[in-house]
Amino acid sequence: MHIKSKLPQTGTTIFTIMSALAAEHNAINLSQGFPDFESSSELINLVTDAMKKGYNQYAPMPGVLRLREVISEKIASLYGVNYHPESEITITAGGTQAIFTILSAFVKPGDEVIVFKPAYDCYEPAIQLNGGKAISVQLRAPGFQVDWNEVRSLVNERTKMVIINTPNNPSGTVFSKDDMTQLASILEDTNILLLSDEVYEHLIFDGAQHQSAARFPALAERAFIVSSFGKTFHNTGWKMGYCAAPAELMKFFRQVHQFNVFCVNHPVQIALAAYLKNPDTYLTLPDFYQQKRDFFVKRIETSRFKILPCQGTYFQLLDYSAITDEKDTDFAIRLTKEYKLASIPVSVFNENQLDQKLLRFCFAKKEETLEKAGEILSKI
């Protein structure tokens, strides 16, 4: 048999490679974005209780209504806009499934999708699988600011969608109100859709306010907003998220969703519906993660690494250009093998693997883990 791949340029993800390398060399793993501390015992007990009460069969296709209702209340409280729980919110198997479903529902051969780089690595394969073409806007360190005139020049009759990610993985930057306003002016009077990846919406620091697409009527009317419970509640392995969009768009999303996963984990949905009734479960997260960011940065401030600003997410970028001229992929491997500390080279998120001498470190870790990592980095 002679079979051609639909993703011929795609191999094993960098996350799998670096985590495997970390395990092989017994290295501290600050590469893949997951916590090394437990989720809330209250939430875990709520899941257990839901299982014992018999919520172990298929959930409704759009998600448990009680959970969609509390999500609707959360969005209204935070962003001042109402999404109808029955027709405008769908529970998904994590943010990545929601993103894949959105792209599959709308992107056709020949369509173009504008992507800001560095970008989370699931966007382009999903675009490609559906016959579309990713149009990259490469952002530059240290600020990763968008040139909106460049974006405007890329919009044409083939543009089907724009993807934004704020707070951004891997750069840790956030879009400002002005950024969102300029994006809205570009999309005005077009049929271009917006995919707003907001999975780190509750991980934003220094008193900043998350500029959700939901806040801007001209964006919200064309936007799919993607969020993640896994990122929010320290349980990435549960693969739980949701998508919010206007009813006329959500109906197309559900057409694909029902044949993609149909429904997602029932007992976890029941548990989250109860857990989310207390807003402190997510409102306390900015301070929680800012303390971790500051703890980590404090331990490397005398190192030879340059610390780039981290406005959100649980990722810190470090510039190593004062240490070596090695490619970031080579240095990341050497750092893992020789110094027993794993990170992610940022070039893998860039157009043509642009190497800006940056490594990404996950600080969603216990203080003792960050302490050891800081000691290693300070000795290099």
Domains of the chain from N-terminus onward: 14-32+284-378 (3.90.1150.10), 41-281 (3.40.640.10)
Residue numbers in the chain where pLDDT is lower than 70 = none
Specify whether the CB–CB gap between 312 and 144 falls below 8 A. Answer: no
| Residue 222 to residue 249: CA distance in whole angstroms | 8
Specify whether the CB–CB gap between 228 and 257 falls below 8 A. Answer: no
Strands 306-307 and 315-319: what pairing? Answer: antiparallel
Q: Which residues contact 89 (CB under 8 A, 6 or more apart)?
A: 62, 63, 68, 71, 72, 83, 242, 243, 244, 250
Strands 112-117 and 28-29: what pairing? Answer: unpaired
pLDDT in tens, 78-87: 999 999 999 9
Structure confidence at residue 1 (pLDDT):
87
Structure confidence at residue 11 (pLDDT):
75
Structure confidence at residue 12 (pLDDT):
78
Token pair in block for residue 286: 């900015």
Structure confidence at residue 8 (pLDDT):
87
HSE-up of residue 47 (Cα within 13 Å, Cβ side):
13
Q: Which residues contact 8 (CB under 8 A, 6 or more apart)?
A: none
Structure confidence at residue 14 (pLDDT):
85
Backbone angles phi, psi at 125, to 5 degrees: -60, -40
CA-based radius of gyration for the chain: 21
Structure confidence at residue 184 (pLDDT):
98
Structure confidence at residue 165 (pLDDT):
98
Q: List strand residue ranges (DSSP E) for 159-307, in order.
A: 159-165, 193-197, 223-228, 241-244, 306-307
- Minimal CA–CA distance to 212: which of 78, 373, 24, 117? 78
| Residue 191 to residue 320: CA distance in whole angstroms | 43
DSSP 319: E
Backbone angles phi, psi at 249, to 5 degrees: -90, -40
| Residue 234 to residue 314: CA distance in whole angstroms | 11
- The amino acid at residue 250 is M
| Residue 305 to residue 208: CA distance in whole angstroms | 26
Q: Which residues contact 193 (CB under 8 A, 6 or more apart)?
A: 106, 160, 161, 162, 222, 223, 224, 249
How far, in Å, are 10, 174, 184, 187 from residue 180 at the CA level? 32, 11, 6, 11
pTM of the model: 0.96
Structure confidence at residue 10 (pLDDT):
78
| Residue 70 to residue 76: CA distance in whole angstroms | 10
Specify whether the CB–CB gap between 136 and 351 falls below 8 A. Answer: yes
Structure confidence at residue 272 (pLDDT):
98
Token pair in block for residue 72: 């609707």
DSSP 211: -
Secondary structure class of 11 (helix, strand, coil): coil
Q: Which residues contact 92 (CB under 8 A, 6 or more apart)?
A: 98, 101, 226, 240, 241, 242, 243, 257, 261, 264
How far, in Å, are 72, 141, 247, 299 from residue 77 at the CA level? 9, 34, 20, 37
